[in-house]
Amino acid sequence: MHRRVFLQLVAGGVFLVACLWPVRFRTDPQFWFRAMDAAHLPLFAALAAWLVCRLRTWSATPSGATQETSLGSVETDRRASEDPGAALPRGEGSTVRRWLAVAALASLCAGAIECLQAFTGRSANWGDFVNGVWGAVLGVSGVAIWETTGRHWVRVGYAALVVLAFGIVSWPALAEARSLRWRTTHFPVLGDFESAVELRLWRPQGGARTAPTRIRLTDEWASHGKRSLRVEAGEGNRPGVSFSAGRQDWRGYEALVADLFCPEAGQPRSQGARPVSELVLRVDAEGEAGQSARFQRGFAIASGLNTLRVPLEEIAAGTGGVPLDLSAVRHLVLLLNAEPQSRTFTLDSVRLEPGG
């Protein structure tokens, strides 16, 4: 008994730590955050199922019951063996109330945890709460179905519903995983913008709340293939676009190359965008002793097609005297100087150029 209580306390502690401990992911945070969002469903399903089982144990008839109760339980057990749906012939109403109470309690627990996360360094998330509620409902429903019916098609249908629900909540994480696979299989190409999956690797950066930076795939001005990435930089401080490199190893390559097209003054431009005047390239990676290091350099951009080429030797030297570790590159960022107007440019064929 004491061992069981100890294991339950340990499981509860692990549950609270998993829900409240502040987590920081330096590599591919979007994937891990989406995976954690999806994990709320099975986590709270298990919690709800455990609560149902515990409440059933606590409310069980004590061993010193009367002879009449014992005879009644024998009859109930006999009927239950013939039809699991008859396992609770008399206390069915209280059992249903217990199931509903557990579902509500587990849902309240999901909401309370999201509120408490604000005090532990994690951010509350409405999607996490919704996934937790769905998990609580599925957990209680699973116990109810297993206790009240022996029909295999009902149980199989429920299992299929659980798989479908988990697939739905896991879809964002799976989409992020697809983008990570694209990044691995297409390396040393960092972006050719022929597939929408790349928009999970390349994300808008900066801009004001009222005029955010936007990116989209376009058929205009592609230097390679059929598509390029259109960046419509909003107002605000240093808008642009960033690439999540994970922890890529750039060693063994000679230069970072990118094609950038800036609309000419005489060409039509959507939403009144103006030609780019200057672009800042930034590369973030690990430095000495695992500390963050950065390379940053500005480029004058002319109207028309521009090809940016930066030797990796120069990038490895870093900025401010802190060298970069090219075996652990985390981010590539292209920023525009802050001006009170939106600007636009298209980006294509971002790649690492092999040595001669």
What is the CATH number for 343?
2.60.120.260
pLDDT for 340 equals 39
Does a cis peptide bond (omega within 30 degrees of 0) precede residue 239? Answer: no
> Is it the case that residue 13 has pLDDT exceeding 50?
yes
245 and 157 in a common domain: no
pLDDT on residue 105: 87
Domain match, 246 and 100 both: no
Q: What pLDDT, in 10s, does the model give residues 288-323?
A: 555 678 899 988 888 888 899 999 999 999 887 788
Q: What band does 228 get if pLDDT is binned at 50, 70 and 90?
A: very high
Contact predicate 240/231, CB 8 Å: yes
Distance between CA atoms of residues 246 and 33, nearest Å: 14
Do 118 and 221 have their domain in common?
A: no
Domain match, 217 and 259 both:
yes
% of the chain with per-residue pLDDT over 90 = 30
Q: Are residues 204 and 302 in the same domain?
A: yes
Average pLDDT over the chain, rounded to an integer: 80
- The reply to whether 73 and 166 lie within a common domain is yes
Of 167, 158, 112, 135, nearest to 49 (Cα)? 135
At residue 342, does pLDDT exceed 60? no
Question: Does 14 map to a domain?
Answer: no
Q: Say if 153 falls within a structural domain.
A: yes
pLDDT of 331 reads 92
H or E segment to which residue 330 belongs: strand 329-336
180, 202, 235 - which closes a domain: 180
Per-residue pLDDT, 5: 64
Q: Is the pLDDT of residue 339 over 80?
A: no
Q: Which pair of structure tokens corresponds to residue 163?
A: 């798989």
pLDDT at residue 2, as a whole number: 66
The domain total for the chain is 2
User: 231 pLDDT band (50/70/90 cuts)?
Assistant: very high
> Reduced to 3 states, what is the DSSP secondary structure of residue 310?
strand
Classify residue 7: in a domain, yes or no. no
CA R_g for the chain: 29
pLDDT confidence of residue 264: 61
In a domain, 8, yes or no: no
Q: Are residues 254 and 287 in the same domain?
A: yes
Q: Quick check: is 9 in a domain? A: no
Is 168 within the bounds of a domain? yes
Considering the chain, what percentage of its residues have pLDDT values greater than 70?
79
Same domain, 214 and 331: yes
More confident residue, 82 or 33: 33
Rounded distance, CA 324 to CA 188, Å?
A: 18
CA distance 33 to 184: 20
Domain membership of residue 346 as a residue range: 189-354
Q: Examine the domain organization and report whether 242 and 159 are in the same domain.
A: no
The pTM score is: 0.75
User: Among the three residues 131, 152, 180, which one is the final residue of a domain in this structure?
Assistant: 180
Residues 132 and 167 in one domain: yes
Residues 282 and 330 in one domain: yes
Q: Give mean pLDDT, residues 43-57.
A: 83
114 and 234 in a single domain? The answer is no
Cβ atoms 346, 261 nearer than 8 A: yes
pLDDT at 183 > cutoff 90: yes
CA dist 258 and 355 (Å) reads 16
Last residue of a domain, one of 149, 180, 211: 180
